[in-house]
Structure 1
Amino acid sequence: MSAVDLTGPADPADPAGPDGPITAPLARGRAYWALADCWNIVRRGLTHYRRQPVNIAWQLGFPILSVLLYGYVFGSAMTVPGGGDYKDFLMPGMFVMTMAFGFINTATIVVYDATKGVIDRFRSMPMAPSAVVAGRGVTDLVVACAELAILVLTALAMGWRPDGGWGFLAAFGLLLWLRFALIWLGVWLGLLVPNPEAAGGLFAVAFPLTMISSIFVAPQLMPDWLGWVAAWNPISSTAAATRELFGTPVGGGDSWVEQHALLMAGVWPLVLTAVFLPLAVRRFQRLSR
């Protein structure tokens, strides 16, 4: 007695036919699945922040404490070129410092996932290879937006008021542009350092990078050689550009890079991305070798 075919004849036009569950997802294309995988990585990263609030508390608490320390403790002793309130000079610099320090958190999370085998597990799954790196970048930008929002509320409570009109939107765009560029530095360093403890030592690199800049003091008030180094520091260009967009009356220096702060605030992150994004991708590809 022959077997009875209970499925009936296959209908090529019916998506629920025998080939439907297999061909329908494939028909969506690689771009769809790359975006879906990236979103899953982003959702995973944000879930970790929700379940471990101490991490986000540290990320937000440090810049807030720095604002209060420099604004109220050291502010009365600081000089602003051309006069003006030091808080108006300080706040754009603190926004930049928060974006600059973000690469330490990126490196710490990446090295933790690498040492715990999470990245190897992702690489063994049928997912887009770009999703791990892209998802990390999107997650960090979302967290950066939250950090900026908290800092702005803190600055407003301290009496800071931007006078640049709608230019403040462009200023926040430059801040996130800098953060985007430094994400790839953090990813590369996270894949390079051996353990999370070593990633914590990156603070020793970030601290002088932010101190020798125009975040706290104008370069023209420093010794000539140190002022030249501070002026050509990439984060100094972003700090000067955001002050200009926020309407802070600060006299600029005489060097070319200080006179073209808006231009360099766009160019420096582009250069950093062009250098560290390929390095991060190449290092990620070498993990399985």
Structure 2
Amino acid sequence: MSDTLTTARILTGRGIRLSRRNPDAVITSMMLPVMLMLIFVYFFGGAIDTGTRYVTYVVPGVLLLCAGFGSASTAVSVSEDMKGGIIDRFRSLDVGGTPILAGHVGASVARNLLATVLVFGVAFLIGFRPTATPLGWLAAIGLLVAFITAISWLSAAAGLLARTPEAAGGFTFLMMFLPYPSSAFVPIDTMPGWLHGFAEHQPVTPVIESLRGLLLDQPVGDTPWIALGWCAGLLALAVTASESLFRLRTR
């Protein structure tokens, strides 16, 4: 186990170095959520009634959108490794699939945390004022890290499933789409009735509602536990699928 963790840590460093060699993708994954936040706040915020300042309402959704953009690049990185032949070299060094994929996921989490800091910084500049307690901040950060980790593993599985890096890039579409039919940008009760069931019971909504409540020091009930349940379920599914797909691709 210690050898696996050490190898995963080393490969996480490799993933971060690879990110530095592709600054365009990193900058895009960081700046696009910020731009969308500014567009929603300044272009549409005045027309959307959420019962509070719109920037206060929208920031949790933008954080998840940011996490989605950042993690989607993991699919491309994994697909490039599978196509480029580096996996054969790793296997000749007796490096298994789990630490290889964990390295990609670790790099994704690191990139996403940096992007999250950027989103928070811009949000503060345009008027976001959280009132979370220290415990609330810890809970919000922990939940966000859990969500990022889960979707990063899901992205790694998508990279193994795709046959080309270009096809793996299509995973970005799902990450872009999922926050929209949720409570990220507008209250669910303003949506058409036929959409309520999906919007209320998809994985993104409880995460957003939990982050919003924790950051604003509002009652959250059992919503964070539901959100963690979704994260744990997605993580278990993604890790299992990734290991099976890796064996299929390298046998």
Shift of 1:51: 2.7
What residue is the counterpart of 2:21 in the other structure? 51
> Can you give the 5+ residue segments of structure 2 that lack an aligned partner in the other structure?
none
State the identity as a percent.
29
Query: Which whole-Å deviations, capped at 9, do the CAs of 1:174-221 have from their partners, x for residues lacking one?
Result: 111111111121111100111111122223323331211111111111
Query: How many pairs are equivalent?
Result: 250
Please state if 1:184 is matched with 2:153: yes
Following the alignment from structure 1 to structure 2, what is the Cα–Cα distance between the partners of residues 36 and 270?
Answer: 24
Structural mapping, 1:34-183, within 5 Å: 34-80=4-50, 83-166=51-134, 167-183=136-152
Pick aligned residue for 1:264 from 214, 226, 229: 226
Shift of 1:127: 2.9
Letter in 1 for 2:23: P
Please state if 1:226 is matched with 2:195: yes
Shift of 1:245: 0.1
Shift of 1:152: 0.8
Following the alignment from structure 2 to structure 1, what is the Cα–Cα distance between the partners of residues 176 and 112?
Answer: 19
Following the alignment from structure 1 to structure 2, what is the Cα–Cα distance between the partners of residues 101 and 259?
Answer: 29
TM-score by length of 2: 0.93
TM-score by length of 1: 0.81
Runs (4+) of structure 1 exceeding 4 A deviation are none
Could you say if the C-alpha distance between residues 178 and 147 of structure 1 is closer, same or farther in structure 2, counting changes exceeding 3 Å?
same
Q: Which has the higher contact order (CA 8 A, sep 6+)?
A: 2
Query: Which whole-Å deviations, capped at 9, do the CAs of 1:206-259 have from their partners, x for residues lacking one?
Result: 33312111111111111222122111110111000000001176xx9xxxxx96
Could you say if the C-alpha distance between residues 191 and 32 of structure 1 is closer, same or farther in structure 2, counting changes exceeding 3 Å?
same
Shift of 1:39: 2.2
Greater alpha carbon shift after TM alignment, 98-107 vs 227-236: 98-107
Following the alignment from structure 1 to structure 2, what is the Cα–Cα distance between the partners of residues 164 and 39?
Answer: 32
Following the alignment from structure 1 to structure 2, what is the Cα–Cα distance between the partners of residues 164 and 35?
Answer: 34
Identify the structure with the greater helix proportion. 2
> Can you give the 5+ residue segments of structure 1 that lack an aligned partner in the other structure?
1-30, 253-257
What residue is the counterpart of 2:247 in the other structure? 285
Whether the aligned pair in 2 keeps the contact of 1:111 and 1:195 (CA below 8 Å) is yes
Alignment root-mean-square deviation, CA: 1.8
Following the alignment from structure 2 to structure 1, what is the Cα–Cα distance between the partners of residues 45 and 196?
Answer: 20
Letter in 2 for 1:208: F
Following the alignment from structure 2 to structure 1, what is the Cα–Cα distance between the partners of residues 79 and 148?
Answer: 19
Which entry has the higher C-alpha Rg, 1 or 2? 1
Letter in 2 for 1:173: G
Whether the aligned pair in 1 keeps the contact of 2:105 and 2:149 (CA below 8 Å) is yes
Shift of 1:36: 2.8
Query: Which whole-Å deviations, capped at 9, do the CAs of 1:28-58 have from their partners, x for residues lacking one?
Result: xxx4432332222111111122233222111
Shift of 1:285: 1.5
Could you say if the C-alpha distance between residues 206 and 36 of structure 1 is closer, same or farther in structure 2, counting changes exceeding 3 Å?
closer
Query: Which whole-Å deviations, capped at 9, do the CAs of 1:73-124 have from their partners, x for residues lacking one?
Result: 11111110xx111110001111112123333211111111111112222122
Could you say if the C-alpha distance between residues 203 and 135 of structure 1 is closer, same or farther in structure 2, counting changes exceeding 3 Å?
closer
